[in-house]
Amino acid sequence: MSAGAATPAARLTPLVLLCLGLVYVVWGSTYFGIKVAIETLPPLGMLAARFMVAGALLLLVLRLRGAALPTARGWRSSALVGTLLLGGGTGLVTLAERDASSSVAAMVIAVSPLFAALFARLWGEKTGGREWLGIGVGLIGIALLNIGELHATPLAALLLILAPLCWTFGSQWSRHLPLPSGLMGSAAEMLTGGGVLLVLSVLMGERWGTPSAASLWALAYLTVFGSLVAYSAYMYLVAHTRPALATSYAYVNPVVAVLLGVGFGGEQLGALGWAALLVILTGVALVAWPRRVPDAEAV
């Protein structure tokens, strides 16, 4: 392995840390935002609007700065990734939140790092022992957090299991597809993924009523921060860090989701819950700690 391939995965650069912080905090809050948005907006239609508007704005800014449009091959690859991540991943979570709380949704999605490590092995990538330990510790924390908290319909529970499968497979596959470079890839994925969600919304017969002000503000937040900012940060992490680190957000998101639930949703968290959060953060630290790069790889 060359130095160029090993270095980004081994070092926590300032840009990597910034992207991690954005994905940790912003995506943790989007579960609550989705719950508010779908109170008066159709789930898939809301997501279609969110991603298509965000993708169009990002594409416009990039074009004004002189970036080239994706090739036909790039659009096809973006459509595959956008469908898996935004249609299968975010779409299934949003549908599940009709019958499950935002904090429960975030908790179940915490299996993402485990799926990411397994899918990464399909392409010959290795997961170190400390990363496996961190994944295990994080899952123990999620199990503790779920004691007495997992109240969802069977369909919602199934959707929450399928969502991280779609998301993590699409994330790992994206590392091996000819995607448009930089933020243009994010714009293309949001536009194509949003298009798929729009088609699904029509096929499911979703109808738009009169949205509340809270739902519209939630949609605006999801569009700007959840899509334009955090999604672009996540795709940078997928391309420049280890799979276990790129998906470690799944351990911090429940922390943010629960804190929002306690602070704004009237939920309560006991001593066991706070202990679980500490265990989750320990798992994140184990996964995120820089991996030692053998001298042979640095040549």
Per-residue model confidence as pLDDT tens digits over 177-219 = 999 988 899 999 999 999 999 999 999 999 998 999 999 999 9
Whether 224 shows a pLDDT value over 60: the answer reads yes
What was the pLDDT predicted at 136?
Answer: 84
Q: How confident is the model at residue 222 (pLDDT cuts 50, 70, 90)?
A: very high
Length of the chain measured in residues? 299
User: Regarding predicted confidence, which is higher, 263 or 54?
Assistant: 54
pLDDT score for 77: 96
Contact at 8 Å (CB) between 193 and 87? yes
Average pLDDT over residues 86-114: 82
Region 111-128 average pLDDT: 76
* Six-digit token string for 280: 């989750």
> What is the average pLDDT across 107-112?
74
pLDDT, the chain, mean: 83
Q: How far apart are CA 108 and CA 277, in angstroms?
A: 14
38 and 46 in contact (C-beta within 8 Å)?
Answer: yes
User: What does the alpha-carbon distance between residue 237 and residue 252 come to, in Å, rounded to a whole number?
Assistant: 15
For residue 105, is pLDDT > 60? yes
Q: Rounded to an integer, what distance in angstroms lies between the CA atom of residue 235 and that of residue 171?
A: 8
Cα–Cα distance for residue pair 8/290, rounded to 1 Å: 10
Residue 96's Cβ-side half-sphere holds a number of Cα atoms within 13 Å equal to: 33
* Cα angle: 214, vertex 57, 15; to 5 degrees: 95
pLDDT at site 150: 55
| 148 compared with 28, residue with greater pLDDT | 28
d(CA 44, CA 91): 6
Going by the DSSP 8-state scheme, the letter that residue 296 receives in this structure is G
> Between these two residues, 232 and 297, which has the higher pLDDT value?
232
Give one DSSP letter per residue of 148-178, joined into a string.
TT----HHHHHHHHHHHHHHHHHHHHHTTS-
pTM: 0.80
CA 192, CA 81: separation in Å to the nearest integer? Answer: 9
> Is the separation of the CB atoms in 250 and 24 below 8 Å?
no
Residues contacting residue 13 through CB under 8 Å, at least 6 positions apart: none
pLDDT in tens, 128-180: 788 788 888 878 877 776 665 555 677 887 898 899 899 989 988 998 899 99
Q: Tell which wins on pLDDT, 250 or 4.
A: 250
Please tell me the predicted confidence (pLDDT) of residue 4: 37
**By percentage, how much of the chain surpasses pLDDT 90?**
44
Q: Which long-range contacts (CB under 8 A, 24 or more apart) does 12-19 make?
A: 12/288, 12/290, 15/236, 16/237, 16/240, 16/241, 18/233, 19/233, 19/234, 19/236, 19/237
User: Which one is predicted more confidently, 265 or 249?
Assistant: 249
Listed in sequence order, the DSSP H helices in 175-221 are 183-203, 213-221
Residue 41 makes CB contacts below 8 A (sequence gap 6+) with: 208, 211, 215, 219
Give ∠ CA 283-102-38 in degrees, rounded to 5. 145
2-16, 47-61, 66-80, 194-208, range with the lowest pLDDT: 2-16
